[in-house]
Amino acid sequence: MSAVKTLFITGVSSGFGQALAKEALVQGHRVVGSVRSEAARVAFEALSPGRAHGVLLDVTDFAAIDTLVAAVETQHGPMDVLVNNAGYGHEGIMEESSLEDMRRQFDVNLFGAVAVSKAFLPYFRQRRAGRILNITSMGGHITMPGIAYYCGSKFALEGISDTLSKELAPFGIHVTAVAPGSFRTDWAGRSMQRTPRSISDYDASFDPVRKARVEKSGHQLGDPQKAARAMLTIIDSPAPPAHLLLGSDALALVRDKLQSQIESIEQWEALSRSTDG
C-alpha cells in the first residue's frame, strides 16, 4: 500500500486473516488483530512488536464488541481498514444438520461480521473515510452439496456487503466482498465442523464429495500469501470493486453459474413476463 495504514482484522490466528496480517506487517503497516486466547495474542504480537497488537474477541459475544472497538479506536486508532475474516466452514447434509448448527454458522460468519462492522461505522462515517473487506467465499455465489449452511451465510454476507457499499459510498467509505475459491488454508481441515452421517439415502451422492474435500485439503491451487497481496492491492485502490473473486477456480465456477442463470432466465422469460398487468 502507498501509505502506512492501520488494519483491524478479525481472526488473525489462521487462514486468510493470518496471511493478510503477516503480509501487511511485512509491508510496514500496523495491524490490530482479534484472537481467541491469551497465548494466541502473545504469539501474534511477537510477529512485529510495536506494530502487531492482539485483542481478545469472540465475534459472537455481541454485547462486548462495541466496547472493544471503542477501546481499540482510543488506544490504537484511528483504524483505516476493517477486515471481517473470522469464520469457519460447516459441512453436512441439510436434513442431517441441526438448526443449532445453522445458528452457530450464521452467528460467526454473518452476525459477527455485521456486529463488528456496525461498531466501526460511526468512526468511519465521522471521518468520511475507511475501507471494509468482508471475506466471503465463492460459496457466496455458487453452491455445492453438503455446505448449505455455509453457503447460506456467505450468500447473505455478499448481499449485505453489496447493500452496505451503496449506503456508505456518499461518505467515501468503500466496501468489498472478497470471495476466495479453494486455497491452502485450514478451511477444509481442522477448521471444518462436520455433521455425522445418519441417513443412508445420501451415501452415494455425498460420501464421495466429503472424501474428496478431505483429501484435497492442503493441496488446493490457491496461495494464501498471494491472496493477501491481492487484498492489500484492493485496500490501496482509489476505486475498489464491490465484489472480488480470488482464484481461477472461483472465476470459472462463478462464470458458469452466471451463464446458467442467464440461460434459465431466457428460457422462462415468457412466464416471468406473464405476471405483469
**Catalytic hit among 123, 149, 150, 202:** 150
Confirm if 151 and 218 have CB atoms less than 8 A apart.
Answer: no
H or E segment to which residue 30 belongs = strand 30-35
DSSP H helical ranges for the chain: 15-26, 38-45, 62-75, 99-106, 112-127, 148-168, 203-216, 224-236, 248-267, 269-273
Q: Say if strands 52-56 and 30-35 run parallel, antiparallel, or are unpaired.
A: parallel
* Alpha-carbon span 39 to 26, nearest angstrom: 22
Confirm if 222 and 180 have CB atoms less than 8 A apart.
Answer: yes
Beta bridge pairs of residue 53: 32
* Alpha-carbon span 174 to 35, nearest angstrom: 25
CA angle 35, 192, 175 (to 5 degrees): 60
Beta bridge pairs of residue 83: 9, 133
End-to-end C-alpha distance for the chain, whole angstroms:
53
Q: How many CB atoms lie within 10 A of CB 81?
A: 25
H or E segment to which residue 138 belongs = none
Q: Is 150 annotated in the active site? A: yes
3-state secondary structure of 1: coil
H or E segment to which residue 246 belongs = strand 243-246
> Which residues are catalytic, by number?
150
